[in-house]
Amino acid sequence: MILHNRFSWRALIGKPFIFFSIVMILKMLLVWTVVFRENAGSFGMMLLTGIPPVWLLFCLIETLAYRKKLVTYLIVDLVLTIIYFAVIMYYKYFGVIVTYHELRQVNQVSEVNSSVFSLMDPYYLFIFTDIVVLFVLICSNRRFRAFGRSLSVRTGRPWFAGGAVLALIACAACIFPFRSGMNEFQQARDMGILNYEAYVGFAPSKNIKVDAKSVTPEAVAQVKGTTEPAQPAYWGAAKGKNVIIIQLEAFQNFLVNLKIDGKEVTPNMNKLVKDHLYFPHFFQQVGQGNTADAEFVVNTSLYVPSNGAASEVYADKALPSAPKTFAASGYQTATFHTNSVVFWNRDQLYKALGWEKYYDDKFFGKSDLVSFGASDELLYAKTAEELARMQGAGKPFYVQVISMSGHHPFRIPESKFKMQLPDRYKGTLVGDYIQSQNYADYALGQFVDELKKNGVWDNSVIVLYGDHQGLPIYSLNNKEKKLMKEIYGREYTLPDMMNIPLVLSVPNQKAQTLEQVGGQSDIFPTLANLAGISLKNQVHFGQDLLNQNSPVLPQRYYLPSGSFISAKGAFVPGSGYADGITYPLNGGKVTKPLDSKETYERAHKLISMSDAYVSSLPEWKDQEKEHANTDTATPPAGSSKTNGSPKEGTSGKANSDSTPAAGSGSAGAGSATGGTKPVDADAKTDGTKPADTKATGTPAETKAGSAPAGSKPDSTAPADATGTPSKPDDAAGK
């Protein structure tokens, strides 16, 4: 009946400019409701800034695409709807406005589709209603198709051409006043979504201009305000000990010592906190890459890029890193993760970081699945066995273990439930999160017990920290916000969201709770101090938490550009420093800066220095070619030229004190910053065979356990899906 009613389609769609303008206004209302309503956004202002770009496109259709007018309108409608929908969904997790920079992560969506769908309220899909209805009409009704063809006439073309010019001027007027703002979210709100998306395409970098050659360890220390003590506390306290870094998926600090109706949520972590060194004011420093970004920051003490995941943006760089630095001091190195090594481009990141071995789903298998891979129980059981084997090789090891069972959306099988939650928590994101972290803690306890049984624990420094937040403020509904208020005894704030625990277990050291503020970039220098490895000549942006207390933690992505965390709280700029807001670490919100402008400028400069430094590093593929040429030209043993033994102090496997200053031609991976040669570019990434990591001028091949630092690791271990190691061929796996 509707299709035979003249009013239904001739009155509404007969003037597509008006019809689709109304449709776009309704979609803007949905975006405003989800994204801007609680962030001081006026819907009237959103219309004023949102309509001009829409009318610009519609005027161009009327002027240039009149022959297939309805179809063109529908295509433009679909594109704009996808942008609006992406803005909604991305905001619900990250709290930021998505831009074209995120397109490089589209291939990851299939891997995390359960997380994506969990963020979606059903009413979000109403944004596609008009597209579905019109598509069905076009496909199923001849009269409607004929009507669409009847619209292919030129009407008011000069008026629409003039309208396009006026709309373009209006768009520029929306963009121009806000182009110099630091806060991207405010820019999107004030410019309008579509204007902001267009602006980002040609916007200049917000970084301070820095000459990469000026980025030296001394320059970084000066900006940070840190000094190297003459006799560092804990120096070499764990020299020659194994180092085991346990990265806990989405583990936030509020879980420590949390009880729900008298039941401990994380009893094993609570015991570790009680018995070892605990840093309660420790914060994430990740960006878009989340877990992979945490791996990058922890192992390099560098900051994440401004756009994109570090595993994508920096994976081609020859990165100075902890794996290389520890390998240069005689350590075996390996990383353990139950997902595929190609997820988040880790196969390339691991080459850049210089891991000698990786263990992925080819080693752990696909049984007992939780989230995106084998359960944490299986991860820890197989890892404990492998660590015992590595310890038996006679050399210390530096390894990272990446848990995953606590991954968003935190829906673990009921068979893994280890506690019963009160009814008020059931069916909520907060309840699912607590349930999954309770299971992850149970698996962690088994790992600790096994390491103590097999003798690895007492011979190791153990590091535990959360990789990133688990409960984004933007994802919580009103009921869930009330549950978080119950847990905290106050409102859940930005610093709470980004606060993760850090626990250090150091042999023969007494338990302490250390109140200073720290971040993930501080882990590498802290461990180097404990191992007695100097980073004096290596560029790093973190501080040794056991000797330095000058916390300035620049933040990206989860907070706008110019944001940082200090002992006074999390600072978020407005258009700049003066109109910024501070969120104190103990809760609340102060509508002014608490840190000085000088601190704000230091944080901004530090992150700009990191970007400039990493951008200046050579690519590992180029270094590999140089190494291959060098190896070809190396004379036989006994000639006047050496083969680069660490003791000989050549550019290959040098000790950590021989690292060149930043900006030098040899800075970065594969030089004196650890000396591990980047991976074979042609190596397969299926993880089915262990890989060998060469160094510049590596000594002759010997088996792991008997070779000096920098030699190839044992290549005899088989690798298949049944549980033997994927020993990376230059960390990628053949």
User: What integer pLDDT is reported at residue 655 of this predicted model?
Assistant: 38
H or E element at residue 604: helix 597-616
CB atoms closer than 10 angstroms to residue 113: 10
Answer whether residue 664 shows pLDDT above 60: no
Q: β-pairing, 512-513 with 460-466?
A: unpaired
User: What integer pLDDT is reported at residue 103 of this predicted model?
Assistant: 73
Q: What is the average pLDDT score of the chain?
A: 84
Please answer whether residues 453 and 380 qualify as being in contact, where contact means their C-beta atoms are separated by less than 8 angstroms: no
Tell which wins on pLDDT, 622 or 244. 244
Q: What span, in angstroms and rounded, lies between the C-alpha atoms of 542 and 522?
A: 4
Contacts of 359 (CB under 8 A, 6+ apart): 334, 335, 336, 337, 382, 383, 386, 687, 725, 726
User: What integer pLDDT is reported at residue 724 of this predicted model?
Assistant: 52
Tell which wins on pLDDT, 387 or 654. 387
Answer whether residue 254 shows pLDDT above 80: yes
- Residue 355 backbone phi and psi in degrees, to 5: -65, 135
The tens digit of pLDDT for each residue in 479-509 reads 999 999 999 999 999 999 999 999 999 999 9
Answer whether residue 644 shows pLDDT above 80: no
What letter would DSSP give residue 421? P
The mean-pLDDT minimum among 261-275, 347-361, 716-730 falls in 716-730
Q: What span, in angstroms and rounded, lies between the C-alpha atoms of 518 and 302?
A: 14
What residues are paired with 388 via a beta bridge? none
Tokens representing 564 are 């940082």
User: What integer pLDDT is reported at residue 443 of this predicted model?
Assistant: 98
Confidence band, pLDDT 50/70/90 cuts, at residue 372? confident
Q: Chain centroid to CA 615: how far?
A: 18
pTM of the prediction?
0.84
- For the segment 346-364, the average pLDDT, to the nearest whole number, is 96
**In the Cβ-directed half-sphere of 480, how many Cα atoms lie within 13 Å?**
16
Please answer whether residues 496 and 254 qualify as being in contact, where contact means their C-beta atoms are separated by less than 8 angstroms: yes
User: What integer pLDDT is reported at residue 228 of this predicted model?
Assistant: 86
Tell which wins on pLDDT, 684 or 67. 67
Tell which wins on pLDDT, 43 or 239. 239
What letter would DSSP give residue 36? I
Domains of the chain, first to last: 2-200 (no CATH), 212-616 (3.40.720.10)
Confidence band, pLDDT 50/70/90 cuts, at residue 632? low
- For the segment 644-659, the average pLDDT, to the nearest whole number, is 34
Answer whether residue 572 shows pLDDT above 60: yes
Answer whether residue 152 shows pLDDT above 90: no
